[in-house]
Structures are given as C-alpha cells and as structure tokens.
Amino acid sequence: MEGSPQTTVASPAPAGPVIPPGADPRGRLAARGPRAKRGVPEGLWLKCDGCGATIYRKEAEELLNVCPRCGFHWYVSAAQRIEQLLDAGTFEEWDANLAPADPLGFRDKKPYADRIVAEQKRTGLRDAALTGTGMIRARRVACGVTDSSFIMGSMGSVVGERLARLVERATAQTLPLIIVSASGGGARMHEGILSLMQMAKVSAALARYSQAGASSSPCSPIRRWGAWPRASPRSATSASPSRGP
Ligand SMILES: [Zn+2]
C-alpha cells in the first residue's frame, strides 16, 4: 500500500484527458461537462424533485444542495463536497495516477474496460473516490470522498487502495482524517474478489490509525471523522490526550 507504486490491479491511467494532481476542484468540475438529471440543475430557479416547490438556486446552494422547504438532497459530487468542506483552493489530490484495470475481463451489458472509459469521460474522475489533503480553517487534514455517479460509487480496487493510502498517510503524518462515504454502492462486481478484499484493507488501515492515537467517530450516517490529540495547538478535538502518538 503506502510506498508501493501501485496495486496489483490498478494500473497507470490510459492516455486521454488528464486532470493534473492538485487541480482546483472547480477546474475538475468544469472539466466534467454537462451532467443531465444530476446535481442542482442549471438556472436561476429550480424545481425541487421532493416537494415540487420552485427554489431560488442560490438558496439551495447555501444549504449545500438541500431543499429549504422539504429537505430533499440534490446530488453532490465528490469535487463539490471537497469545495464545501475545505478552504478554497487548498485541496491537493493524492494518488491521482491510480486508475482501474480489468483483471477479470468482465462483461455485463458492455465490457468493463469500455464502461470504465465511459464513466471517466462522463464524470471527470478516474474512479469513484477522490482523496488528498487540504486545509480547514488553515489546519491541514486528510480527506477522502466517494462519488455515487461513478458506477454507483462502488468500491473497486482503486477506491480501496486510495482510501487505504489516505488513512496510512493520515497516520504517518498525524493528520485529522475525514472520509465522506457518499456512495453506498457496495463492492464492485466487475472486479470480483479483488473488490471484496478492499473493505478489509481499509478497515485494517483505520484500525492502525486508531491504535496510533487518533480517535474517530461517526458524525453522521455518511461521514467519519478522525482527530489527532496534538495535531495542532489550536485544534480542539474530542480525542483523549493520554493516547497521543
Ligand atoms: Zn423540496
């Protein structure tokens, strides 16, 4: 994992449009092109899919893409979540070179290899997770976000490897850790047993993160927080100071 050039099934990305590591998430968003039926629709006003009310777009955006009338949640991309969470322009992507391979030669309605290329073009993502580091109120954190729009946000080898490396770097650098699990897609059937191994790998990394002295606790059904007791003199965390690294 950490330190190894790549996973057994992840391979360097194929030639094509490359978004440089550390690019502003807004740039990544801009590179995605149109996304019909997902996210907050373009326009000054929009109609809520939950209650049917006409909502001022800015009002919904100020509520992080939630309807002020009924609480309906519009889709939020991984890049948008990073924009929402981190200080503007501070996100630096980690492991951007990891891209999925097709070790089984899997095929459903179409070959998995073709599906990967189509999903990458449609979403602007290499796979269903974005990981990296950034600042929250000038304090550095490690941050990972999954995206439900890339094959349902399913956890293939790249998602698992990116998250495991994220947690390992957070452990090594004693960084607070934020993982927004916004996908719920389960394991990716296209990669078979290689997908099923990822949960154990990430869980083991999280256990080592916790054993090293950081505390973590779920703060919502889709978020997981970790904090280091002495990550910053200015930090106020709930971690036990007696377990510092
Ligand atoms: Zn509504």
Q: Count of CB atoms within 10 A of residue 91's CB?
A: 24
Reported as a single tens digit per residue, the pLDDT across 197-208 is 999 999 999 999
Q: Which amino acid is at 136?
A: I
Higher-pLDDT residue of 184, 53: 53
Task: Work out the pLDDT band at 184, boundaries 50, 70, 90.
Answer: low
Are 42 and 74 spatial neighbours (Cβ–Cβ below 8 Å)?
no
When the pLDDT of each residue in the chain is averaged and rounded to a whole number, the result is 77
CA of 53 to the centre of ligand 1 (A): 6
At 216 the pLDDT is 57
Q: What is the 3-state secondary structure (H, E, C) of 82-137?
A: HHHHCCCCCCEECCCCEECCCCCCCECCCEHHHHHHHHHHHHCCCCCEEEEEEEEC
Q: What is the pLDDT of residue 43?
A: 78
Mean pLDDT of 212-227: 53
pLDDT at 9 over 80: no
Residue 231's pLDDT band (boundaries 50, 70, 90)?
A: very low
Tell whether the model's pLDDT for residue 2 goes beyond 50. Answer: no
| Residue 140 identity (one-letter amino acid) | R
d(CA 102, ligand 1 centre) in Å: 41
Burial tier of 11 (Cβ tally within 10 Å: 0-12, 13-18, 19+)? middle
Cα of 52 from ligand 1 centre, angstroms: 6
Structure tokens at 46: 């929009």
Q: Report H helices in the chain.
A: 25-32, 57-62, 78-85, 112-123, 157-172, 193-211
Neighbouring residues of the ion ligand 1, judged by CB less than 5 Å: 48, 50-51, 67, 69-70, 72
45 alpha carbon to ligand 1 midpoint, in Å?
13
Sequence-distant contacts of 38-43: CB under 8 A, at least 24 apart: 38/75, 38/77, 38/149, 39/65, 39/74, 39/75, 39/76, 39/77, 39/80, 40/65, 40/74
Break the chain into its structural domains and give their ranges: 11-35+76-231, 40-74
> Taking 50 as the threshold, does the pLDDT of residue 224 lie above it?
no
* Residue 37 to residue 203: CA distance in whole angstroms: 34
For tokens 């009924």, the residue is: 70
Q: How far is the CA of 60 from the centre of ligand 1 (A)?
A: 10
What is the model's pLDDT at position 1? 43
Tens-digit pLDDT profile for residues 47-102: 999 999 999 999 998 998 899 999 998 888 899 999 999 999 999 999 999 999 99
Percent of the chain residues topping a pLDDT of 90: 51
Q: How far is the CA of 57 from the centre of ligand 1 (A)?
A: 12
> CATH assignment of 11-35+76-231?
3.90.226.10
Ligand 1 mean position, distance from CA 198 (Å) = 37
Tell me the C-alpha distance between 167 and 159, whole Å: 12
Q: Please write the tens of the pLDDT for every residue from 235-245.
A: 333 333 333 33
Cα separation, 25 vs 23, whole angstroms: 6
Q: How far is the CA of 132 from the centre of ligand 1 (A)?
A: 33
Contacts of 15 (CB under 8 A, 6+ apart): none
Mean pLDDT of 161-189: 90
> Separation of 93 CA from ligand 1 center, angstroms?
34
